[in-house]
Amino acid sequence: MKKTLCVILSVLLAVCLLTGCGGGKGDDGSEKVLKFGCFCYASTLDPGDETNAAWDVMRMGLSECLFKFDDSMTIQYALCDDCTTEDNITWVLHIRDGLKFSNGTDVTPSLVVASIENVYNNETGTSRPRKYMDYESMTADDAARTVTIVLKAPQVDLRKNLAYPIFAILDTTGDFDWDEHPIGTGPYALVNYEAKVSATLVRNEYYWNGEVPFDKLEIYYLGDAGAKTMALQSGDVDLVENITSAADLKMFKEDKNYNVSIAQGVRCGFAYMNHNGILADPVLRHAILKALDDDTLCNVTLGGLYTPGYSCLPSGLAYGYENLVDVDPYDVAEANRILDEAGYVDTDGDGIREKDGKNIKLLYLTYTNRGLADFADGIMVSLKEIGIDIDLKVIDSDSLWNNMVNGEFDLAGNNWTTVGTGDPTEYLANWYSGYVGTDANGNWNGYKNAEYDELYEKLATTFDEAERAKIIERMQQILIDDAALLVHGYYNSSMESNTSIDNVKIHTADYYWITNEITPAK
């Protein structure tokens, strides 16, 4: 009898635990757990070591910056609640009263300074904080709750740069470990982390900005979109980000058991063109762009995951897209004509054009995330039709990065945020010839245009937003005229969830995945 009773109690206990594991459960007092499946971009959680680590830490709801962006990419106050400057060089920031890290330590101006300084002192990887803020001095006044930053040169709006994830405020007291256990001010606090595998977080009992709805957050790092789909369908997770299979996304949209949030974000899908190799010839670059049907690639091949476009900046941003002229609209006949005239001909009948006796074969590197490999497949087929061969290699993002730095590519697929600091200046540096030289920074495509360089440098001393917008509009047209890059389109970010949770929303700035907005379903 006792043995039988023990078995029954064990089963009942297991049932209770299971009913507490879904996002919408817990009305009986059991633990409310949110299970999230996502891609992992970093092998550490230290923002000072990897930019991707900074993003991952913020996306998991662990960290916050002094400022943040709303969905129109307008700057908002966060841990800082007031900011003043008279000359755009000296900035005085007031740190919000009553803030605590998730371990209960008070967030003082001195610790804010220590957190930011730690990123600079340990910039051994890809973060490069000086790209965003190059300061002369940074001092704290704990009594006044202010941080004063004196820059080496004026900045248009330092608040936007300080909203970038590498400037998340993390605790530096005691024997702190940012590699595997950073302590932040976000709604959730980390308790366990296994690189590239999983992370477990719990409610931050000291959170300053409203109720935290879940007791526990379990994050599972999933390698591709297919794994996300299967995990969501099986109930292993309640929420995933960015399903990039057109068929799977359609399935979730049409199934009443799931909710899908989609928004045209600020990411551009594009391929670098290596101007130091065979693509130094503008005729070949223009022919490639004319041979590609952007509308079909975005809306059919990718199933609407991207919005078609031809500029390096998304059409939804306020930088004059409607005034730009596409000099390479889809026209296969014209692509063939200009290649013929330039001496790219197929002399041996194998279907591949030659120049100077060598087949035109481009090394195209890409990776699987956000549909980039699907774009590459479609582009490879399209270019074969005009006699251009592709050696396509789908590799991991770290290997792609290394190849780009070393110039070992002809085309390199990417998907990048264009206004990471609420402004495209840093992104536009990818085609500025003076942006060279390190493992993390560089105009790796070798593009050079004197007018573009001059306009890029002018942005550093132009503070009027309308004037900046006109400069940026002209820079876009120069890149279009020069066929400087291959634009895929503008990525439509998404989040998919089952109906056990509510209020799931993909934000324009995709630093913000897990927030306290997401709640159990009622």
Classify the phi-psi angles of 437: left when phi > 0, otherwise alpha if psi is within -120 to 50, otherwise beta: left
> Is the predicted pLDDT of residue 171 greater than 50, yes or no?
yes
3-state secondary structure at position 307: strand
Structure tokens at 250: 């359609």
Structure tokens at 409: 């590519």
The neighbour count for residue 194, using CB atoms within 10 Å, is 10
Amino acid at 379: I
CA 289 to chain centre: 25
Closest of 368, 374, 363 to residue 394, by C-alpha: 368
Structure tokens at 517: 């907005």
Closest of 496, 512, 518, 522 to residue 203, by C-alpha: 518
pTM, entire model = 0.80
Residue-wise pLDDT for 103-162, tens only, equals 999 999 999 999 999 999 877 667 789 888 999 999 999 999 999 999 999 999 999 999
Q: Which domains does the chain have, with CATH numbers?
A: 35-42+177-262+494-520 (3.40.190.10), 61-167 (3.40.190.10), 264-492 (3.10.105.10)
Alpha helices in 90-133 (DSSP H): 109-121
What is the per-residue pLDDT for 27?
A: 55
Residue 497: CB partners within 8 Å, gap ≥ 6?
23, 232, 238, 239, 240, 258, 259, 504
The neighbour count for residue 97, using CB atoms within 10 Å, is 9
What is the per-residue pLDDT for 247?
A: 87
> Is the predicted pLDDT of residue 82 greater than 90, yes or no?
yes
> Is the predicted pLDDT of residue 435 greater than 80, yes or no?
no
Residue 436: CB partners within 8 Å, gap ≥ 6?
442, 443
Helices 282-290, 332-341: axis angle to 10 degrees equals 160
> Is the predicted pLDDT of residue 369 greater than 90, yes or no?
no
Whether 360 and 369 have beta carbons less than 8 Å apart is answered as: no
Closest of 281, 202, 189, 271 to residue 489, by C-alpha: 271
Burial of residue 436 (CB within 10 Å: 0-12, 13-18, 19+) is: exposed
